[in-house]
Amino acid sequence: MIEISLHILDIVENSTRAGAKSVYIDIIEDTRMDLLSIEIRDNGSGMSEDVLKKVMDPFFTTKTVRNIGIGLPMLAHAAERAGGRFIIESKEEGGTRVVAEFKLSHIDRQPLGNIASTLVTLVVGNPDVDFIYRHRHNDREYIMDTRALKKDMGDLPIEHVKALIFIREQVECGLKNIGTEA
């Protein structure tokens, strides 16, 4: 994967396959600390200790459609290559937390990518999941919460094309207002 937003898409898809009904995506860009932090938390089924020990092996997967599970190892490698670190925590029936930290200015750090497209893709593919996206850039913050959006839209389904256009525009405008690279 060449963009961090694609890693986010992959990890969140894992969350939804694990039955998550709420997914929290937190991004912190801190130029003073030279830090880009991505945290994804969910309330899905989580992983046993045995699965958690194996999850970083690219030849291990719980999926039945392919024999490899390279998403987490690729994200870990991307973070470590860019002077950062990777953390994964999970408990059965307790959800999962994935953190990838990057040195923001590192030459090998992948670009953040198109966060708006990633969020729209997640919403349209998982309309029954609540996504809470928070992006901090230094002292500014943008939050998108599909629970609030669903309430504001009334009878219009969140996966309706008008809703998706609205979400894309809101995310793009929100990120521009906080001065992020996305």
- Asked if 20 contacts 42 with a C-beta cutoff of 8 angstroms, the reply is yes
**Domain locations in the chain as residue ranges:** 4-178
Residue whose C-alpha is closest to residue 124's, from 170, 167, 155, 173: 167
Alpha-carbon 62 to chain mean position: 20
Query: In a structure prediction context, what are the per-residue pLDDT tens digits for the chain, which is 182 residues long?
Result: 789 999 999 999 999 999 999 999 999 999 999 999 999 999 999 988 888 887 777 665 555 444 445 788 899 999 999 999 999 999 999 999 999 999 999 999 999 999 999 999 999 999 999 999 999 999 999 999 999 999 988 889 998 999 999 999 999 999 999 998 65
Q: How far is CA 57 from the centre of its chain?
A: 21
Residue among 91, 94, 56 at smallest CA distance from 75: 56
Predicted confidence at residue 66, as pLDDT, reads 46
Give residues with Cβ within 8 angstroms of 163, minimum separation 6.
149, 153, 156, 157
| Distances in whole angstroms, Cα of residue 5 to Cα of each of 53, 111, 139, 145 | 25, 8, 22, 18
Q: Which residues contact 91 (CB under 8 A, 6 or more apart)?
A: 46, 47
The CA distance from 59 to 134, in Å, is: 32
For domain 4-178, the CATH architecture is 2-Layer Sandwich (3.30)
